[in-house]
Amino acid sequence: MLVETASGIESLPRTATGSGVGSVSENATWVKSRMFRVPQTTNFAFVQSYPNVTYQAKQRLFARLPNGVRVENLFELQDGSYTINDPRDGTVVRVYLGSHVIPLTDEEVADLTAAGYGAYIT
């Protein structure tokens, strides 16, 4: 029995040289990115059930589909508090969109950690 394997990995060694003005040698600094994902989720029905409708609900599209999950948006308000309900009154400072991975500044990390969202920052 003949067994063959194939690998799509290429090993290409890389080298680099550089030149510059002066004799100062500096190292590159790496700054860790702080990422945030909004934790609030809401279950919702794909199709609303209306009991007073005359046709049979089980024949409708998506009638037997289980409820879905939606990630809420997080709104930072001018007073420093956070809410998932959009106040729509102009007090929103920043919106963290649900189901997005959001890069944060050091100030935002401190604010979200103080508000109790530190566990959701990586």
Statement: residue 112 has pLDDT above 90: yes
The structure tokens listed for 69 are 């999950």
Task: Read off the pLDDT band of 2 (50, 70, 90).
Answer: low
Q: pLDDT of 70-92, one tens digit each?
A: 889 999 999 999 999 988 898 99
Pseudo-torsion of CA 104, 106, 108, 109, nearest 10°?
90
Beta strands, E only, 1-122: 34-36, 41-44, 68-71, 74-77, 82-83, 92-96, 102-104
Say how far apart CA 48 and CA 51 lie, in whole Å. Answer: 10
Statement: residue 57 has pLDDT above 60: no
Task: Read off the pLDDT band of 103 (50, 70, 90).
Answer: very high
Segment (H or E) for 62: none
Over the chain, what is the mean pLDDT? 77
Q: What is the arithmetic mean of pLDDT over 40-66?
A: 62
